[in-house]
Amino acid sequence: MESPSSRLFKLLDYPRCNPEVGKKRFDLLSSFGVKDLSFISKGYRGIVFRGELSGKPVAVKIPRSDAGKEYIAEKECSILKHLQSCLGGKNPAPEPYICTPDFTVMEWIDGIPFSEAVKKYGKKVVLSALESCYLLDRCRVEHSEIKGEKHLLFDGVRVRIIDFESAKFKEKSRNLLQFVGYHLLRRREILKTFGVDEGELLSLISEYKRNPETAFPKILSLFDK
């Protein structure tokens, strides 16, 4: 029977599953103080583990061994560092703790997906999601997958945004536009629930494309009646 440590080492080098490579990554993580690793999920470009660093939970993302040049760990980490510098305590993205070519260790975010959170907590979730997307736009970072349900998590206080491996710096980013288009206009029941006129929202979205700073408060006001 395969030991738990052997399975972990193979996952650390997924999908090639070379236990020697995985062991080297495990030892390197341990040298930084990361412990109690457990597998969470496999993505197209990276593998995510949960661990512990200085007594708090962390997410550990490791590039897949077949990702090649499609995913560079340092790129995601540079974006996370930029957002932390740009937004400080308002940052909806995970805070990065350790960045190397082999892995990124970042804040672990617990939460429930946007649609589920709206049903449970109401309009404050929509308002928070709009603000989180606007903050990314303000820092000129485009998430690129904001329509993904699993990327918007309500942590009980605000909507956090995770998984920046496909993100990029962009002068006119479109996070809020993508969020409204996919999560609100495609699901009109949310607009009906909060008494938001679709035509008025579309008009403000057009204004947002021209002047985000003046249009954003108006968009918020539609949902905060």
Same domain, 183 and 217: yes
Identify how many contiguous H helices and E strands the chain contains and give both numbers.
9, 10
Which domain CATH number covers 127? 1.10.510
Domain count, the chain: 2
Rounded Cα–Cα distance for residues 48 and 106 (Å)? 11
Domain boundary among 107, 133, 148: 107
Confidence of residue 87 (pLDDT cuts 50, 70, 90): very high
| pLDDT-above-70 percentage for the chain | 96
Q: Are residues 214 and 128 in the same domain?
A: yes
Are 180 and 119 members of one domain?
yes
Both 21 and 123 in one domain: the answer is: no
Q: Which of 92, 107, 122 is the last residue of a domain?
A: 107
200 CB neighbour count, 10 Å cutoff: 13
Instruction: Please indicate, yes or no, whether residues 163 and 215 belong to a single structural domain of this protein.
Output: yes
Same domain, 173 and 139: yes
- Cis before residue 15, ω within 30 degrees of 0? yes
Residue count of the chain:
225
DSSP, collapsed to helix, strand or coil, labels residue 202 as helix
- Shared domain check, 63 and 13: yes
User: Do 101 and 126 share a domain, yes or no?
Assistant: no
Residues 86 and 118 in one domain: no
**Same structural domain, 47 and 61:** yes
Q: What is the pLDDT of residues 26-63, one digit of tens each?
A: 999 999 999 999 999 987 788 999 999 999 999 999 98
CATH number, residue 74:
3.30.200.20
Reduce the DSSP state of residue 52 to 3 states and report it. strand
Domain carrying residue 74: 4-107
Last residue of a domain, one of 59, 87, 107: 107
Q: Rounded to whole angstroms, how far apart are CA atoms 8 and 15?
A: 12
Rounded Cα distance, 83 and 136, in Å:
8
Tokens representing 119?
């049903």
Other CB atoms within 10 Å distance of the CB of residue 170: 14
Residues 92 and 153 occupy one common structural domain:
no
Residue 98 backbone dihedrals phi, psi, to 5 degrees: -135, 130
Q: Examine the pLDDT at 71 and tell me if it is beyond 70.
A: no
35 - beta bridge partners?
52
pLDDT per residue as tens digits for the range 180-217: 999 999 888 999 999 999 999 999 999 999 999 999 99
pLDDT bracket for residue 1 (50, 70, 90) = very low
